[in-house]
């Protein structure tokens, strides 16, 4: 049968890659900003590439903040945030100013400051070193690499949220989980076999 997956369309992100990955796994993506379509979805994915403030502005302009709040906070619909999508779960983002986020997790979004001559943005394959158990990493080898593209990172007020970390001159959360809320700094849809395993875990086990 497969799972119906609401891919939140707010004008930001790598939606085509996410849709392709969901389809390869045998599930049914619906790219939509329609509240009714999102309400019918078994799982939600909030993708994203771009700046925090612009992402929140686009969510508000499409009336999606209230819709997502109801589905995620009240109805406890499983949701996966990817890159900027995961950042938007935070309380505050500090990218080109100070911007209020969705406030679903105790975290802020701050600039990467890796030092050691490392370039920003952080682009390429890197680790996701496990910090605590999460179903996202079921059947994913401990040494698996994932694909990153970002200039900002999460700073979690509650370290218990962090399920994996990456080291790029400084350590930052690579993945987090709070109950039915999941997020990855890396792009699983661009991370080949291990990324697909992680997405399957979310779609079939969350």
**Annotated catalytic residue, options 27, 83, 122, 194:** 83
Task: Dig out the tokens for 118 from the structure.
Answer: 């490392």
Nearest to 156 by CA among 136, 135, 138, 178: 178
Query: Across-strand partners of 118?
Result: none
Q: Which residues are 178's β-sheet partners?
A: 181
Q: Note if 83 is an active site residue.
A: yes
Strands (E), 73-121: 79-82, 92-93, 99-100, 107-111
Count other C-beta atoms under 10 Å from residue 97's C-beta: 9
Find the catalytic residue in 27, 150, 187, 194.
Answer: 187
Q: Alpha carbon 38 to chain centroid distance?
A: 17
Provide the CA 20 distance to its chain's centre, in angstroms.
17
Helix (H, G, I), strand (E, B) or coil at 167: strand
- Lookup: tokens for 60: 């508000």
Cross-strand bridge partners of residue 28: 4
Q: Can 189 be counted among the known catalytic residues?
A: yes
Q: DSSP string of 75-90?
A: S---EEEETHHHHTTS
Catalytic residue chosen out of the listed positions 95, 108, 165, 189: 189
Q: Which residues are catalytic?
A: 83, 187, 189
């Amino acid at each position: 049968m497969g799972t119906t997956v609401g891919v939140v369309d707010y004008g930001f992100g790598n939606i085509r890659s996410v849709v392709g990955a969901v389809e390869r796994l045998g599930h049914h993506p619906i790219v939509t900003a329609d509240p009714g379509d999102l309400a019918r979805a078994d799982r939600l994915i909030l993708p994203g590439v771009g700046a925090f403030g612009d992402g929140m502005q686009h969510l508000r302009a499409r009336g999606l903040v209230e819709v997502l709040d109801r589905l995620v906070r009240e109805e406890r619909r499983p949701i996966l945030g990817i890159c900027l999508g995961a950042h938007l779960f935070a309380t505050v983002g500090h990218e080109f100013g100070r911007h209020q986020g969705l406030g679903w997790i105790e975290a802020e979004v701050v600039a990467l400051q890796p030092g050691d001559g490392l370039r920003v943005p952080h682009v390429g394959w890197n680790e996701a070193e496990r910090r605590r158990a999460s179903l996202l990493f079921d059947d994913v080898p401990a040494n698996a690499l994932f694909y990153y593209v970002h200039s900002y990172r999460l700073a979690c007020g509650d370290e218990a949220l962090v399920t994996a970390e990456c080291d790029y001159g400084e350590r930052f959360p690579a993945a987090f989980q709070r109950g039915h809320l999941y997020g990855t700094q890396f792009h699983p849809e661009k991370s080949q076999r291990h990324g697909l395993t992680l997405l399957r875990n979310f779609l079939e086990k969350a």
